[in-house]
Amino acid sequence: MDIETTTAPKMTARGVSVFYGANKAIDDVSIDVGREHVTAFIGPSGCGKSTFLRTLNRMNDTIPSARFEGRIELDGEDIYAPTMDVVQLRARVGMVFQKPNPFPKSIYENVAYGPRIHGLAAGKAEMDTIVERSLKRAGLWDEVRDRLQESGTALSGGQQQRLCIARAIAVDPEVILMDEPCSALDPIATAKIEELIHELRGRYAIVIVTHNMQQAARVSQKTAFFHLGTLVEYGETTEIFTNPRMTRTKDYITGRYG
């Protein structure tokens, strides 16, 4: 399942398996995440795509019964090595969740929290700059510039999700993982997030899990199709959608199951 990339991949996974107790959720998945790509993971519910996504920043560590096998590298560095600092890893590999989950604090505090705990800003002025830059990149600045002290939870669903994206990029990550970021949003808010993903591409390596195949086709350059915990097919998005090599992929894309 090799893809030619012009540059070395940002993240590489080799032989990754994840167990929940005795249950094998991911079976021997190997994949490269491109530096300047949006990579989409598609597949029916329960196929393990979200589980795999969460191995990329070790969020699965928080589930006591989860067990990991294999090797994942970020810029050639083993992220499961005992020397790896998980806290730093999660700052470098940011995450946006399925349901918008802003902290019940002000908009400003939501964005400033990450830089503050990592000590990225030397003073108030620098923090203001980081907050403004992050909100601008997340395309939210114009809507909230006059009410930064209002609660983040008072925003609309789409705005909350963009706030979460701003919060993730405020710590200047290298990779952003998005776990079905639009599944709780209406079509207009979804379009805005997709537009945003386009703009963020190139600056960050982006991995997005999605149920929506049109979305995968619209925003990604590479697509991986997961089924029953295995990686069935991985390739250029246009290839996967127009000329899939595997019948299982074809059946899923044409709506035979899912």
Partner 1 sequence: MSEAFTPVDPTPTNWRDPAMQKRIRRRYAAERRFRLIGLGAVSLSAGFLAFLLVTMVANGLGGFSRTELRLEVDLRQAAVALSAAQLAGPNAEAALAEVDFEGIVRAAADAQYGRRGARIFSPAARLVLRDAVRADPGLLARPATLWLPADSAIDQAAKGHGTPEATARYRQIEQAGRARTGFNTTFLTGADATDPTSVGIWGAVKGSLLTMIVTLLIAFPIGVLTAVYLEEYARRNRWTDMIEVSINNLAAVPSIIFGLLGLAFFLQFMHLPRSAPIVGGLTLALMTMPVIVIAGRNAIKSVPPSIRDAALGIGASRIQVVFHHVIPLALPGILTGTIIGMSRAFGETAPALMIGMRAFFASPPGGFDEPATLLPVQIFLWSDEVSRGFVEKTSAAIIILLAFLLAMNGLAIYLRNRFEKRW
Only segment of 27-35, 131-139, 164-172, 238-246 that touches partner 1 (CB under 8 A): 164-172
Question: If you ran DSSP here, which 8-state letter would residue 151 be given?
Answer: B
Q: What is the DSSP letter of 60?
A: G
Alpha helices, H only, 78-206: 86-92, 107-118, 124-137, 141-144, 157-169, 187-200
* Site pattern 94..113 for partner 1 (x: CB under 8 A): xxxx-x-xxxx--------x
Stretch that binds partner 1, among 14-22, 93-101, 121-129, 222-230 (CB under 8 A): 93-101
Binding mask 33-72 for partner 1 (x = CB under 8 A): ------------------------x-x--x-x--------
Least Cβ distance, residue 244 to partner 1 (angstroms): 27
Position among 88, 214, 242, 247 found at the interface with partner 1 (CB under 8 A): 88
Q: Backbone phi, then psi, for 22, in 5-degree steps? A: -90, -5
The minimum distance between CB 64 and partner 1, in angstroms, equals 6
Candidates 17, 106, 153, 183; binder of partner 1 (CB under 8 A) is 153
Nearer to partner 1, 168 or 213 (CB): 168
User: How far is residue 223's CA from residue 171's CA, in Å, rounded to a whole number?
Assistant: 27
Measured CA to CA, the distance from residue 193 to residue 228 in angstroms comes to 28
Sole binder of partner 1 in the list 168, 189, 208, 209 (CB under 8 A)? 168
Pairing label, strands 93-96, 230-236: unpaired
Please choose, from the candidates 128, 132, 134, the residue with its C-alpha nearest in 3D space to the C-alpha of residue 171.
Answer: 134
Cα separation, 159 vs 150, in Å, equals 13
Kindly tell me which residue out of 38, 91, 135, 208 binds partner 1, with binding defined by CB under 8 A: 91
Q: Which of residues 170-229 bind partner 1 (CB under 8 A)?
A: 170-171
Give dist(CA 167, CA 176) in Å, integer.
11
Q: Provide the terminal-to-terminal Cα distance of the chain, rounded to the nearest Å.
A: 23
**DSSP one-letter code for 70:** E
Does residue 118 belong to the site contacting partner 1 (CB under 8 A)?
yes
Among 114, 229, 235, 244, binds partner 1 (CB under 8 A): 114
Closer CB to partner 1, 87 or 125, in the complex: 87
Residue among 108 and 225 whose Cβ is closer to partner 1: 108
Nearer to partner 1, 65 or 214 (CB): 65
Is 92 or 203 the residue whose CB approaches partner 1 more closely?
A: 92
Q: Which of 158, 109, 154 shows the shortest CA–CA distance to 134?
A: 109
Any idea which residue has 């000329």 for tokens? 243
Identify the DSSP state of 59: G
| Binding site residues, partner 1, CB under 8 A | 57, 59, 62, 64, 87-91, 94-97, 99, 101-104, 113-114, 117-118, 153, 164, 167-168, 170-171
